[in-house]
Structure 1
């Protein structure tokens, strides 16, 4: 089974996400006879559940499950998962949250439970005591925990309606544990596997301290997702505790990894290592933004000015998760990156982030946006699908015209 084909499918979803992102920008430039919210639902679901989910689960399978020789079961799970993703990609743009899109998204939840059960049941015994697998197992539990959000949305829609605070709270709950739990901890698990494979092991007590602080931070920063409706100040305090714990956790990670950087760097291309450095720098920015958002004024500001939230989510998704995952995919020879793709992607990311945060700050300070702001944002956003198309077709070419022996 050639896992590069699975990543090619994930890259196709990545391309669809980038194209829908441009379409969403064009809604503010010219009349489009489509439903903005429907396209937004398709964009977000395909990004999280198509591109990132398939990338991470393929990496987990390659690293921890190939030895189990349960290929047939994995193939069935993979096909079922893709039927769900394709169903969401088709139905969300047509009907938004309605019967068929809800059916496919619900089936996807069962597909994720199935993969979680499969991964935990069949991972070989010699992996089970490794810290890397401990992180992977924890990330999968966060994947399951995040699904409470989608399940709650159905009940909220049926009883309280989409205007209820619990509707948005359910979405933010889901996004929090996807981004901070499932995505980031899975990536850390892959990083620690690479360290272990290089013969790098750490003091168990320091690993335990890092692990506890990391999880305390994730569990308590969920309260930051609820500050937008001005809850009791106690939630601000709990969220602040979580944000501080995350800062301490990643500081401990820095102390652990710092002395090992020369060894870690060996075996990586310059491009790969730069991707990881970019992700590390932006992780610091993320931690600072989380600390600031615990303050009531800024929590309310983020609710009033959605561009702060959009900029933050894109920073984590495009600046931390995707660069890290791409670096790992290339490290395990599941993808072929190029300088052209990287330069185009980084240009699109930096330029659009600057514009998104510019708008947020302009509205905050009462400034008027410069003329043709939305047109420029759409033009710069169009670089994303160009970059991803370059990556996608390069990998298709390598896959079918230069196969591995």
Structure 2
């Protein structure tokens, strides 16, 4: 099933490339906003969401195969994601798109219910704690789409409620589900790492920071209470960073990944996570917070830092370890190197474009450069999906 995720990543990259083309060229038969909705929904549901839920199921039942009932739920997640990518470009927020979005949310609820009520698992305790909070965050993130759906049904134009719902959804996805699920898999698949003295404090602080950091995304509401809670969240983030650094220093001698390629991807993933934590904590500073949440390239850059740099690099490291890229070493590295170059170029260009907007020196050439970066992402993702077609022994 994980191989389907690679093709989904290629579809996400194709839509992203098309969006960059739409900015520069007249493509009258494509609606930019509808295509953007398709891009976002499929990136969350078809790539990250589907992959993380599948890895949770694989880890829970390893070395056995995933039971039929669980597979059916995962297929419901996959089918609803495909439905969204097909309907959003045509119907926008119309009934067909909302139907598949609702199926996706319901499938998540069913998966969580099965996960919480299923038989006991041998997965390491830290991973169980992280999985619990990751799936709880996944359910909490559904508050955003439900509120937005209610607003559309009632023809409400409340801009503050709309923006609050969007940022609530993003927070519980990016800082909750995505982050916690990645570390749940990391600790669950590497017991030696979970046994280190700094592992437990890191896990507990990471989970504890999830809820009080929500106001960091809502400081534009100018509420004293939100600033107070956000300050607690920032302290927890700082403590998490310190515990994470101590954990990193204790990992010397522990084999984190099977191959040099996977270890390199893991390092990039954890470096992106560190950047995410620092940027999140820094948003409590008004000038930085206004830049992050008021400068569109910076917002996109931050979201891509988590989506591509942190989560996607981690997922690719897992796939490398599981034998999904089986050609000769150089050929195996090439697709991932192309994709990685696209990620790094995309991040650097969005940062420079954001600074250019803040300083009043922005240039139209950035859009052309970002188109080239999106072409690298598309080429790399397609090559990875194609290179994973060759059979290998460790796959699910």
* Equivalences for residues 2-401 of structure 1 within 5 A: 6-33=1-28, 34-66=30-62, 71-127=67-123, 130-159=125-154, 161-162=156-157, 164-196=159-191, 198=192, 201-203=195-197, 207-228=199-220, 230-265=221-256, 268-333=258-323, 338-369=332-363, 371-396=364-389, 398-399=390-391
User: Are the counterparts in 2 of residues 68 and 124 from structure 1 also a CA contact under 8 Å?
Assistant: no
The residue that corresponds to 1:3 in the other structure is none
How many residues align? The count is 390
Structure 2 unaligned spans of 5+: none
- Counterpart CA distance in 2 for 1:395 and 1:101 is 30
SS at match of 2:280: helix
Q: 1:363 to 1:133 in 2, by over 3 A?
A: same
Structure 1 unaligned spans of 5+: 1-5
Kindly indicate which of the two structures has a greater share of residues assigned to helix: 1
TM-score by length of 1: 0.89
Question: Which shifted more, 351-360 or 331-340?
Answer: 331-340
Q: 1:377 to 1:69 in 2, by over 3 A?
A: closer
- Counterpart CA distance in 2 for 1:336 and 1:174 is 37
SS at match of 1:262: coil
Question: Which shifted more, 213-222 or 156-165?
Answer: 156-165
User: Are the counterparts in 1 of residues 53 and 74 from structure 2 also a CA contact under 8 Å?
Assistant: no
Q: Deviations over 1:124-164 (max 9, x none)?
A: 3433x622122112211111111111111112334463551
User: Are the counterparts in 2 of residues 157 and 167 from structure 1 also a CA contact under 8 Å?
Assistant: no
TM-score by length of 2: 0.91
Query: Shift of residue 68 of structure 1?
Result: 7.1
User: Are the counterparts in 1 of residues 15 and 35 from structure 2 also a CA contact under 8 Å?
Assistant: yes
Query: Shift of residue 319 of structure 1?
Result: 0.6
SS at match of 1:161: coil
Q: 1:391 to 1:22 in 2, by over 3 A?
A: same
Query: Shift of residue 186 of structure 1?
Result: 0.9
- Counterpart CA distance in 2 for 1:334 and 1:141 is 30
Q: Deviations over 1:372-398 (max 9, x none)?
A: 3322221221111100110001112x1
SS at match of 1:264: coil
- Counterpart CA distance in 1 for 2:97 and 2:251 is 47
